[in-house]
């Protein structure tokens, strides 16, 4: 059976940075720790005035193709996942292909192009599409280019404003991948929910408390469904567990519930019994309310154990490093969590070849997907090629007044085209104005 997975990846972050503790918190009259410790975020990334989801996606994709020595003929499909699209008909993938054709001598006319939408899980769904396309033998030896690109922008004063972020992740999906092999087994949890939605509007309508509950419920369903096809699991089965990370505080909740689920009926539960007792079983209680109270008490105590904290520090915490500095990238969120984990392993000389990741994706509305990925022998060389640290260091730090201006630039309901870029474009695609039919136009600046 042919192996299929992620052969290479690239990341492009918005070129502006808003410090949440030093800049955003004082302007809101808030304690910086509300963001740094509560949400677990230090800064948000924003696109400059000449950037948008097309330029970020195209820049990530071009860097990837150039580094791998690939031509358009090597790519059989281009799938873009986004929930920040600006056209209800023409997919972002066509714009990105048009950008790339400016810098290659050939074109992508042969490539299948599409756009995926299911909130933040669409990036993983695009991976699934590419995987199935190759496994079905329809790729004719070509690879797929999957791009997750978003500008997560909230209305001014919205509770989600501090979680904003912008960037793109480009992934090359191929046979015999150098980085990660995707498992054929998947687990899903899906339900019709209205926790987060954008009914013909740019900014989301969010029921924050409900959204957290739905996220956790769908993740729990997906984990149970994954176990039904993969067999029982142990916390030590996976080197890292990258979660969809709207903000790290959400992952703290999901990781704890996932750990509680996985240790049930295992020696770990038995070992912890002398310290915090066994997990409550519903049959031991007269009513559901009392049972759920007992589960919450057990979960709170589990969080304080050395066993859990050591697992969290080794398996979850390393997945959050990039997210803490860039905010929520919607469809790219879980993919920068994966990159963070692999980057941590390389920096700490951890041997990962043959080890597995458990990847937990989520999209509001709502659906979760869980699958496993096996690290391949070329992972270190691939991760070493990432330039995310350099990009983060080169971002322009904006004041709160500058943040207000750039927020207006990317608000589709406003006309703020007179705002100059804060950074000087170089070796990148830029937004270059409007065409006769109202289409966005792009140019490559050397």
Annotated catalytic residues are 83, 120, 244
3-state SS class at 7: strand
Torsion angle in degrees (nearest 10) through CA of 428, 379, 389, 30:
110
**Using an 8 Å Cβ cutoff, are 431 and 90 in contact?**
no
Using the 8-state DSSP alphabet, how is residue 378 labeled? T
Q: How far apart are CA 376 and CA 357, in angstroms?
A: 11
Using the 8-state DSSP alphabet, how is residue 120 labeled? B
**Using an 8 Å Cβ cutoff, are 340 and 319 in contact?**
yes
Using the 8-state DSSP alphabet, how is residue 308 labeled? H
Cite the beta strand spans of 155-248 per DSSP E.
165-175, 180-190, 196-197, 205-206
The dihedral of CA 37, 42, 44, 45: what is its sign? negative
3-state SS class at 291: helix
What residues does 114 pair with on adjacent strands?
A: 79
Q: How far apart are CA 153 and CA 43, in angstroms?
A: 14
3-state SS class at 125: helix
Cite the beta strand spans of 268-391 per DSSP E.
356-363, 367-375
Other CB atoms within 10 A of residue 399 CB: 12
Question: Tokens for 288?
Answer: 């559901």
**Using an 8 Å Cβ cutoff, are 234 and 266 in contact?**
yes
């Amino acid at each position: 059976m042919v192996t299929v997975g992620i052969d290479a990846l690239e990341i492009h972050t918005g070129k502006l940075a808003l410090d949440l503790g030093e800049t955003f918190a004082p302007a809101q009259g808030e304690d910086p720790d509300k963001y740094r410790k509560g949400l677990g975020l230090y800064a948000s990334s924003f696109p400059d005035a000449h950037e948008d989801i097309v330029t970020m996606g195209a820049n990530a994709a071009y860097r990837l193709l150039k580094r791998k020595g690939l031509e358009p003929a090597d790519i059989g499909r281009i799938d873009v996942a986004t929930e920040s699209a600006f056209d209800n008909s023409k997919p972002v993938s066509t714009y990105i292909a048009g950008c790339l054709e400016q810098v290659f001598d050939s074109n992508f006319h042969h490539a299948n192009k599409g756009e995926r939408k299911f909130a933040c899980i669409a990036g993983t769904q695009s991976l699934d599409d590419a995987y199935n396309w190759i496994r079905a033998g329809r790729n004719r030896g070509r690879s797929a280019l999957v791009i997750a690109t978003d500008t997560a922008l909230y209305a001014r004063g919205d509770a989600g404003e501090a979680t904003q972020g912008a960037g793109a992740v480009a992934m090359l999906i191929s046979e015999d991948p150098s980085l990660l092999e995707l498992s054929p087994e998947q687990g899903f949890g899906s339900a019709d929910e209205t926790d987060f939605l954008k009914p013909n509007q740019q900014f989301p309508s969010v029921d924050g408390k409900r959204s957290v509950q739905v996220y956790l419920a769908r993740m729990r369903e997906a984990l149970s469904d994954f176990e039904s096809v993969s067999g029982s699991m142990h916390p030590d089965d996976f080197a890292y567990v990258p979660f969809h990370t709207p903000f790290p505080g959400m992952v703290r909740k999901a990781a704890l519930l996932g750990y509680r689920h996985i240790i049930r009926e295992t020696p770990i539960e038995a070992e912890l019994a002398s310290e915090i007792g066994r997990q409550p079983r519903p049959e031991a209680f007269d009513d559901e309310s009392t049972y759920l109270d007992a589960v919450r008490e057990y979960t709170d105590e589990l969080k304080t154990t050395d066993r859990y904290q050591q697992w969290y520090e080794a398996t979850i915490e390393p997945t959050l490093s990039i997210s803490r500095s860039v905010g929520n990238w919607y469809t790219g969120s879980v993919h920068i969590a994966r990159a963070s984990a692999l980057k941590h392993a390389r920096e700490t000389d951890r041997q990962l070849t043959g080890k597995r990741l458990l990847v937990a994706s989520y999209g509001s509305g709502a659906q979760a997907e869980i699958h496993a990925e096996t690290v391949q022998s070329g992972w270190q060389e691939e991760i070493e090629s990432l330039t995310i640290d350099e990009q983060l260091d080169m971002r322009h730090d904006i004041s709160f007044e500058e943040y207000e201006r750039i927020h207006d630039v990317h608000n589709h309901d406003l006309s703020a085209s007179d705002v100059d870029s804060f950074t000087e474009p170089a070796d990148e695609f830029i937004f270059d104005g409007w065409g006769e039919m109202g289409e966005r136009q792009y140019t490559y600046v050397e």
